[in-house]
Amino acid sequence: MRNKLLIGVLMCSFILPFAMAQEPSAPSSFGFGFELGLGTETLPIDPTAPADVTNQATYQKLALKPDISFGKIGIGLDVTLHFNIKPGQNGSNIEIYEPDWIPAKAGKTFFELYLPKIAYVRYGQKGENLFVKLGSFDDGTLGNGFIMGNYSNTRFLPETRIFGAALDIDGQLFDFPFVGIETFAGNLANFDVFGSRLYVRPLAGTEMPLLKNLQVGATVAADTDPLRYASDSFRSSVGNADTVTIAGLDTKLPVLNTPVVSMAVFGDLAFEPRGRWGTMAGLGGKLVNIVLYGAQLRVLGPDFIPTYFDGSYDLFRHLKYQALQQEAAGSVYAGWLANLGFSLLSDAVVFQASLDGPFAAAPASGATITDYPHLRGVLTLAEGLLAGF
């Protein structure tokens, strides 16, 4: 029975996309995308046991990734089936990898195991009056991104999918443009990395063409478990970890918003533990809806870390926490940041390169990492753009 079921799933996986492609497109807002991934993967036989060579096996992998949308609502699923086909006396037997489906076998709770199978559910897009998204994130941002910018909870895919959430509500949705809120949680199952930004438009009731759109906001972001992905030896050396809380104030003023050019000017003041602080002023936007640009002037206090919750935070959160435990040392310095990139296919392909550094030349001796420029490039491909990913 299981053999027939697996064969049926495989046949449907290949036939459905072609069958739907032959149907004439109807003038509606309904959309359906489908992706199939085939391959092999080495997995622990018992995820709850110590990792070693004897606790590993290679499994066949069938990844089914439908994407369904209707209007502003979109749902993406990631259902991966790991299995082995083994010959037996009565024919071939199918061995299903039980940790994919049984929480006790995986050493996880029900929600930790099953919520990640929903890649995402969304309503609207970031920047609209109402934006809701649940699932995977590579772009978790609050405000101007000086505290949390492009945070990603996908760093442990495909082994582990983390289920996060974002909810943004602008008062313009209710014809009350004076207030709005942005919220974000990187992991709903553990609720470790989260934050919120509350903003007001103090001049929304005026007739001033530009100033009526001025936003003044306050952001708070925190990590309740900064050693979550640290090794046991690292945990032992650091001891019990306290919650990391970062807060700040910001302003944002859209200046241009046309099909040819968009631009906003903004500023931030942020505070980190042990007296660390940093501030910046900048501008950014798009040209012909393709070219991304931006520039910032920064004044940073000793050992301040801009964009503390960034795209690689989950990989280095324990090291950042360790750095925050030291008293800030050094002097205040002025710096700069410039970024340039492009966005294609409705943000399905996005490339951004940024270069930042201090205005002063690096000292001849005793230089630290903050004394040199930093170059960073990121290419982001939307999920489903490449087959199997």
The predicted-structure confidence for 266-293, as pLDDT tens digits, reads as follows: 999 999 999 999 999 999 999 988 999 9
Report if residue 24 sits inside a domain.
no
Amino acid 317: pLDDT? 93
User: What is the per-residue pLDDT across 135-173, written as a single tens digit (0 to 9) for each?
Assistant: 988 889 999 999 999 899 988 876 788 889 999 999 999
With tokens 């936003």, the residue in question is 215
In this structure, is residue 63 part of a structural domain? no
> 80 lies in a domain?
no
Asked whether residue 51 is domain-assigned, the answer is: no
More confidently predicted of 377 and 18: 377
Q: Contact 148/184 with Cβ under 8 angstroms? A: yes
Place of tokens 């306050």: 218
pLDDT of residue 382: 59
On whether residue 164 sits in a domain, the answer given is yes
CA-based R_g, the chain, Å: 24
More confidently predicted of 363 and 289? 289
- Give the whole-angstrom CA distance, residue 189 versus residue 340: 36
In a domain, 389, yes or no: no
CA 369/CA 356 separation, integer angstroms: 12
Q: Is residue 229 part of a domain?
A: yes
More confident residue, 2 or 113: 113
What is the pLDDT, as a whole number, of residue 116?
76
Average pLDDT, the chain: 84
Per-residue model confidence (pLDDT) at position 151 = 94
Backbone angles phi, psi at 277, to 5 degrees: -150, 160
Of 137, 124, 131, nearest to 182 by C-alpha is 131
110 vs 41, higher pLDDT: 110
The per-residue pLDDT for 389 is 47
Residue 88: pLDDT band by 50, 70, 90 thresholds? low
Alpha-carbon span 191 to 278, nearest angstrom = 27
pLDDT value of position 388: 43
Confidence of residue 9 (pLDDT cuts 50, 70, 90): very low
**Is 362 within the bounds of a domain?**
yes
Q: Show the domain range for 195.
A: 108-381
Encode pLDDT of 114-135 as tens digits: 877 888 888 988 889 999 999 9
The DSSP secondary structure of 30-75, one letter per residue, reads EEEEEEEEEEEEEEESSTTSPPSGGGEEEEEEEEEEEEEEETTEEE
**Proportion of the chain above pLDDT 90, given as a percent:** 43
CA distance 114 to 388: 21
Alpha-carbon distances, residue 268 vs 44, 168, 177, 279 (angstroms): 46, 20, 22, 5
Query: What is the pLDDT at residue 369?
Result: 59
pTM of the model: 0.75
Residue 92, pLDDT score: 62
Q: In the chain, which ranges are continuous DSSP H helix?
A: 2-22, 103-106, 110-114, 232-238, 313-324
In the chain, the number of structural domains is: 1
Question: Residue 188 pLDDT > 90, yes or no?
Answer: yes
Q: What is the C-alpha to C-alpha distance for residues 11 and 2, in angstroms, rounded to an integer?
A: 14
